[in-house]
């Protein structure tokens, strides 16, 4: 069915980046619509681990990288929103944990202790003593160091729900090929889908790169609650663990270097490799009855020379179209601000040139919200 839509700003992509921008524009009474052809939060958003990074994990080689510096302010921005006092009210979002842990087996911790205790990271990292270790490291057999990292972890599905709920009348489920669109500005925030959308709108840009992951979920009733990164001698954690409760089961959702290198393994090889890693890292935990699943996802980013990972959100403009990638979930507010500035809606401007009194579209069927990948397994 063909749908005719008229708006000042049309946003394509119902992940956190698109929904965040929709909220900001609606706050300023800008005439805008969000268009999603599948499920809200599907793809990169729902497959993410919900970590609001401060960049510390990019500093594990012993120095603050550009990525680490650019992410430093993000947790504070999000915390204000989660407390109901930021640019968007996210007080209904479930915070799975207010902090995470960095841990290291063996002597690696000794090499990093001075750096992690430095003034650059003093407000973000705390070295713990054994009585304060989380359950997963409470075994007498555990050897190493544990640090508490002040980065919150969110239940991503509740984040999508909180961003979508206030603006349901301005979210449309439709495929771009079924739309007759009249818009002053078009914003593409569809992740991997940006390439096809750019071609639809006749753009010569953007050039995009995909960075694949093979994530793993481990499910068993007896797993301890844990949000943590296993350190290694690189800027990528050996393994990153976040935890979800699903009925009687606890789900460990695993990323980090395990997921990045996992794309070079088959599903069976990835599960076997994960079991071996967990046995090394948690010899005191029994994984023999746990269920293992893998989930493939491709992160979309603006193309950088030699495939280098962007240090922050990316945005390019051609004609009346803005194409953006947040790079990380935590960067969604920053990307939205950059797009608003490009639209002439910088914070504090008195006149809003894109405001109008138009009504929501007559046909406004909101897409359903995506499930976590292990719920679809």
- Extents of the domains making up the chain: 3-46+157-207+303-375, 51-154+211-302
Instruction: Supply φ then ψ for residue 313, to 5 degrees.
Output: -65, 155
* pLDDT tens digit sequence for 194-218: 999 999 999 987 689 999 999 999 9
H, E, C per residue of 123-188: CCEEECCHHHCCHHHCCCCCCEEEEEECCCEECHHHHHHHHHHHHHHHEEECCHHHEEEEEEEEEE
Can you tell me the mean pLDDT for 352-376? 73
Sheet with 239-246, edge to edge strand ranges: 125-127, 144-149, 100-105, 228-230, 239-246, 249-255, 208-220, 291-302
Q: Are 344 and 331 in contact (CB under 8 A)?
A: no
Angle (CA) 29-34-36 rounded to 5° is 170
How, if at all, do strands 100-105 and 171-173 pair?
unpaired
Evaluate if residue 47 carries a pLDDT over 80: yes
Instruction: Kindly report the CATH class assigned to 51-154+211-302.
Output: alpha beta
Can you tell me the mean pLDDT for 85-97? 97
Evaluate if residue 164 carries a pLDDT over 80: yes
Output the CA torsion 236→239→242→246 (10° steps): 150
C-alpha to C-alpha distance for 72 and 53, rounded to whole angstroms: 8
Evaluate if residue 113 carries a pLDDT over 60: no
C-alpha to C-alpha distance for 357 and 95, rounded to whole angstroms: 36
* pLDDT tens digit sequence for 215-235: 999 999 999 999 999 988 777
pLDDT-derived band at 242, boundaries 50, 70, 90: very high
Give residue for tokens 């950088």. Answer: 304
* pLDDT tens digit sequence for 259-300: 999 999 999 999 999 999 999 999 999 999 999 999 999 999
Q: Are 172 and 5 in contact (CB under 8 A)?
A: yes
The listed CATH number (3.50.50.60, 3.60.15.10, 3.40.50.150, 3.40.50.1460) that belongs to domain 3-46+157-207+303-375: 3.50.50.60
C-alpha to C-alpha distance for 345 and 225, rounded to whole angstroms: 43
Strand partners, 323: 188, 316
| pLDDT given for residue 346 in this prediction | 67
What is the greatest pairwise CA distance in the chain? 66
Tokens for 166, please give them: 């206030």
Evaluate if residue 301 carries a pLDDT over 50: yes
Prediction pTM value: 0.92
Evaluate if residue 63 carries a pLDDT over 90: no
C-alpha to C-alpha distance for 305 and 137, rounded to whole angstroms: 41
Evaluate if residue 11 carries a pLDDT over 70: yes
| pLDDT given for residue 366 in this prediction | 80
Give residue for tokens 């054994």. Answer: 130
């Amino acid at each position: 069915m063909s749908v005719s839509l008229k708006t000042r700003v049309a946003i394509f992509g119902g992940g956190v980046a698109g929904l965040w921008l929709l909220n900001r524009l609606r706050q300023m009474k800008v005439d805008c619509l969000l268009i999603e052809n599948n499920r809200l939060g599907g793809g990169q958003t729902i497959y993410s681990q919900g970590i609001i990074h401060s960049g510390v994990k990019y500093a594990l080689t012993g120095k603050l990288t550009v990525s680490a510096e650019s992410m430093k302010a993000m947790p504070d921005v999000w915390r204000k929103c989660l407390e109901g006092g930021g640019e968007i009210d996210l007080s209904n979002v479930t915070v799975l944990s207010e902090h995470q842990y960095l841990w290291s087996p063996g002597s690696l911790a000794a090499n990093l202790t001075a750096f992690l205790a430095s003034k650059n990271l003093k407000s973000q990292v705390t070295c713990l003593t054994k009585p304060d270790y989380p359950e997963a490291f409470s075994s007498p057999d555990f050897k190493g160091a544990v640090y508490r990292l002040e980065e919150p972890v969110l239940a991503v599905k509740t984040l999508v729900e909180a961003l979508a709920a206030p603006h349901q009348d301005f979210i449309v489920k439709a495929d771009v090929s079924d739309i007759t669109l009249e818009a002053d500005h078009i914003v593409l925030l569809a992740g991997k889908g940006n390439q096809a959308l750019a071609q639809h709108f006749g753009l010569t840009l953007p050039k995009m790169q995909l960075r694949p992951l093979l994530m793993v979920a481990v499910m068993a009733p007896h797993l301890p609650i844990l949000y943590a990164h296993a350190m290694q001698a690189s800027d990528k954690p050996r393994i990153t663990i976040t935890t979800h409760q699903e009925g009687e089961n606890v789900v460990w959702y695993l990323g980090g270097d395990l997921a990045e290198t996992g794309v070079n393994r088959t599903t069976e090889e990835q599960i076997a490799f994960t079991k071996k890693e967990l046995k090394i890292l948690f010899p005191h935990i029994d994984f023999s009855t746990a269920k293992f699943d893998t989930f493939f996802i491709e992160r979309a980013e603006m193309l950088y020379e030699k495939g280098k990972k962007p240090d922050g959100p990316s945005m390019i403009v051609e004609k009346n179209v803005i194409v953006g990638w947040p790079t990380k979930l935590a960067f969604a507010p920053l990307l939205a601000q950059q797009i608003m500035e490009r639209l002439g809606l910088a914070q504090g401007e008195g006149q809003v040139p894109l405001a109008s009194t138009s009504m929501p579209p007559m046909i406004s069927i909101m897409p359903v919200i995506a499930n976590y990948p292990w719920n679809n397994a």
